[in-house]
Structures are given as C-alpha cells and as structure tokens.
C-alpha cells in the first residue's frame, strides 16, 4: 500500500480517536449536570471544533518521523465546570476524566473483537489498518491514565488523596516536564501494556499481521 495513504490513514485515525476521547468527557459532564461543553458546541465530531495544531498535527508527524514506538496526540480539551456536576459532586470529576480513556478502550474492544472473529477472512492490509486503530486507541487510553497532571489519570489520585488534588492544581509546567521525561525514558511501558491488551482483544493472528505490515 502507498506510504502516503498509510500516513494519511494514521493521522485521520488519530484525529478522530482523540476527538472521541474529548467528546466523551463532554457527554459525561452533561449527564452529570454540566452543559458547558454543549454550550461551547464541542459535543460534535466535526474536527474543526477540536483540532489542536500541536497535539493533532505537529506532534503525530514528529513521532512518525522519529519512528516512535507509540503514536500519541491530543485535541483541544473540552471545557467543563466541576461546580455544575450537581448529580455527583464528589466523584463527578473522576467520572468525567475517565470517560475519555474508557471510550478509547471501548473502540479498541469493538475493533479488536471484529478482528478476532473476521480477521482470517480480511485482506492483510485491512487487518493491519484495523489493528492500527486498536493499538492506537489502547496507546491513548494507557497514556491518559498515567497519574501525571494534566492527564486524566491524575484525577484518580486526586480522589484518593485531597493533598494530591492540590498538587495537581498547582503543578503547572511541572506536570508537563514530568510527562516529557516519562515519554522520553519510559514510553516503552505504554506500548508494552497496549500490545498485551491488543493481543487479548484481537488475538495473535491480528497482532502478527499488524507487526509485519508496520515493521514493528
């Protein structure tokens, strides 16, 4: 398959995966009583409403050209007001935070099971590209569950420890520095966990096809 088409597919898959992630945050907030995202017209799959020049375009292209083991990115965060989550003030912020990674995992499960049961009947290229969607969404889920601010996983520890909530809110650039440090030295952990889940959902055959196709 043409390399340009493969790269285009990867970018499109990434953009819509991060958009689903952000929209899920907005819908979770809406169900809990906050309509901020709805009023900002962010509960849509229209890429123009969500694209972040750095996270949606520049970073993915850079990761591709440096042959990063993981493909990551982000869309503009969907706004929400935790003070409006009147249906669950205590755990509402956590539910909103986890809605994004949960959606990526759900996408991975759906496409993974589709590959597990229909993969043997699909062309190699189709199996590999669908496998990419699975692996990508698992990467995004695992990445966002890291307990490093401003990632979604930091909200989990915020529930466990009020002191951590304060540290997250005051982290500023420190969280970003920690995130860059982790990705530079330990990004392999993300791909390792994602690969294990990939095999669990899609099966060994899909994983092998994916690796041969993308040369992993």
Residue 43 has pLDDT above 90, yes or no: yes
64, 93, 112, 147, 194 from 83: Cα distances, Å: 40, 9, 37, 23, 34
Query: Positive or negative CA dihedral for 197, 198, 204, 208?
Result: negative
Poorest-pLDDT segment among 32-36, 77-81, 118-122, 139-143:
118-122
Look at residue 66 in the predicted model and tell me its pLDDT: 75
Task: Say whether 149 sits in a helix, a strand or coil.
Answer: coil
Question: Residue 128 pLDDT > 60, yes or no?
Answer: yes
Containing domain of residue 132, as a range?
3-214
pLDDT band for 53, please (50, 70, 90 cuts): confident
pLDDT digits 0-9 by tens, 152-191 = 887 776 666 656 555 655 655 676 677 778 877 888 899 8
Question: What is the pLDDT confidence band of residue 6, given thresholds at 50, 70 and 90?
Answer: confident
Look up the pTM and report it. 0.89
Of the listed ranges 95-104, 115-124, 189-198, the least confidently predicted one is 115-124
Report the domain count for the chain: 1
| Per-residue pLDDT band at 201 (split at 50, 70, 90) | very high
């Amino acid at each position: 398959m043409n390399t340009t088409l493969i790269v285009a597919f990867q970018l499109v898959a990434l953009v819509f995966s991060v958009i689903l992630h952000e929209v899920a945050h907005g819908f979770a907030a809406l169900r809990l009583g906050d309509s901020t995202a709805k009023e900002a017209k962010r509960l849509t799959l229209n890429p123009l409403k969500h694209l972040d020049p750095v996270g949606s375009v520049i970073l993915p292209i850079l990761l591709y050209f440096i042959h990063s083991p993981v493909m990551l990115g982000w869309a503009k965060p969907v706004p929400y007001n935790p003070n409006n989550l009147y249906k669950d003030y205590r755990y509402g912020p956590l539910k909103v935070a986890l809605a994004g990674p949960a959606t990526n995992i759900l996408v991975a499960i759906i496409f993974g099971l589709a590959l597990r049961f229909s993969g043997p009947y699909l062309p190699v290229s189709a199996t590999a590209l669908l496998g990419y969607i699975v692996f990508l969404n698992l990467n995004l889920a695992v990445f966002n569950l890291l307990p490093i601010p401003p990632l979604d996983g930091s909200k989990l520890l915020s529930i466990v420890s009020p002191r951590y909530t304060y540290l997250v809110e005051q982290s500023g650039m420190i969280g970003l520095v920690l995130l860059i440090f982790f990705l530079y030295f330990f990004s392999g952990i993300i791909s390792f966990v994602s690969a294990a889940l990939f095999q669990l959902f899609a099966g060994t055959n899909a994983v092998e096809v994916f690796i041969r196709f993308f040369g992993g």
